[in-house]
């Protein structure tokens, strides 16, 4: 009995440094996002709309990382979840007159989660390339459904008539985008903290195990498909927050929020930063969108060439993504110094 108690005490003691390191990384992550947000505000005070858009897309890329980076599910239709959240929030305001930003965000979460449930039920029936085909088919179906349901979605003209009340009745969404930007950063910080806890939880470890060897997970008595379905719903909720944020801040929802192009670009951003890492998803989104905005303004005719050159260079020389390769290099340096 004493041996068992001593063993448990030793395990508990050995876990403490690991937990403190994880907590330290969480605090450092929140601090880093806050610092970058402040720097962005100071550098681009007249272009806060772009920064807010980056945050909305970053939430989409984070949701994609959950199913692709952590679970290994191949998809090119993840914008269906983002667009569903955007339309859910927009419809709540335009058709029902409910303009509270928090309620619109909850509607976006619900819309994205339902879309995630539908998408997961279809995509998870295949493996590898068939998953990509199913995801492309789904994004096209979502897009066409939104186009045909024009009485609700506005069709090709977009859903307009969206308005937002002040947050808590005090913070109005001003013309310069200050409130929208702060609201977006707060949402991003909350989502980041929740996802950090999720990916380190036993459920997150289970999903990583499914990506590595689903046969072994099944032999252990767990259900890979049930776990992946839950993760898909969670991913849909996160993407729905991004879609709702986009609807709240722009006050219009177009069919481009359900486009294949947005799905493909979100995957490119994830690969650029590094899959299987929340920091990789965030850094890839920021780098890609700022680089795209800069080169398109500097050279409107050949900017796609420069974007393509950047992506080729990253894939060839940093196969784990910019953040992933940098983290791996620093880890090797630490090991060599010990």
Tens of pLDDT along the chain (338 residues)?
443 344 334 434 445 655 666 667 778 788 889 999 999 999 888 889 999 999 999 999 999 999 999 999 989 999 999 999 999 999 999 999 999 999 999 999 999 999 999 999 999 998 888 999 999 999 999 999 999 999 999 999 999 999 999 998 888 888 888 999 999 999 999 999 999 999 999 999 999 999 888 888 888 888 899 999 999 999 999 999 999 999 999 999 999 999 999 999 999 999 999 999 999 999 999 999 999 999 988 888 888 888 889 889 988 888 888 888 888 888 888 877 76
pTM: 0.92
Cβ burial, residue 12 (10 Å; 0-12/13-18/19+): exposed
Number of helices (H), then strands (E), belonging to the chain: the values are 13, 0
Cβ-contact 179, 172 below 8 angstroms: yes
CA–CA separation, 282 and 308 (whole Å): 20
Q: Which residues pair with 159 in a beta bridge?
A: 253
Neighbours of 324 (CB within 10 A): 23
DSSP annotation of 45: T
Residue extents of the structural domains in the chain: 21-258
Cβ-contact 281, 239 below 8 angstroms: no
CA–CA separation, 319 and 308 (whole Å): 15
């Amino acid at each position: 009995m004493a041996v068992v108690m001593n063993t448990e005490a030793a395990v508990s003691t050995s876990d403490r440094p690991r937990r403190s390191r994880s907590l330290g990384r969480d605090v450092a992550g929140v601090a880093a996002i806050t610092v970058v947000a402040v720097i962005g505000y100071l550098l681009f005070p007249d272009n806060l709309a772009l920064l807010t858009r980056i945050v909305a897309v970053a939430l989409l890329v984070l949701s994609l990382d959950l199913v692709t980076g952590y679970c290994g599910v191949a998809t090119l239709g993840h914008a269906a979840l983002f667009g569903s959240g955007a339309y859910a929030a927009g419809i709540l305001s335009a058709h029902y007159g409910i303009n509270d930003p928090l309620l619109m965000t909850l509607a976006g979460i619900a819309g994205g989660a339902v879309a995630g449930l539908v998408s997961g039920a279809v995509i998870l029936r295949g493996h590898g390339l068939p998953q990509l085909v199913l995801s492309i088919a789904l994004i096209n179906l979502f897009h066409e459904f939104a186009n045909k349901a024009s009485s609700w979605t506005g069709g090709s003209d977009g859903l307009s008539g969206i308005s937002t009340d002040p947050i808590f009745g005090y913070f109005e969404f001003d013309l310069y985008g200050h409130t929208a930007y702060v609201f977006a950063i707060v949402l991003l910080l909350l989502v980041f903290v929740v996802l950090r806890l999720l990916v380190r939880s036993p459920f997150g470890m289970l999903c990583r195990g499914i990506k590595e060897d689903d046969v072994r997970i099944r032999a252990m008595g767990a259900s890979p498909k049930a776990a992946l379905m839950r993760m898909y719903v969670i991913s849909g909720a996160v993407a729905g927050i991004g879609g709702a944020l986009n609807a709240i801040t722009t006050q219009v929802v177009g069919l481009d929020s359900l486009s294949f192009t947005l799905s493909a670009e979100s995957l490119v951003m994830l690969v650029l930063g590094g899959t299987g890492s929340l920091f990789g998803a965030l850094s890839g989104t920021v780098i890609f969108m700022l680089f795209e905005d800069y080169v398109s303004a500097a050279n409107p005719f050949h900017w796609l060439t420069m974007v393509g050159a950047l992506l080729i260079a990253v894939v060839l020389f940093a196969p784990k993504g910019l953040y992933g390769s940098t983290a791996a290099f620093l880890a090797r340096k630490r090991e060599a110094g010990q």
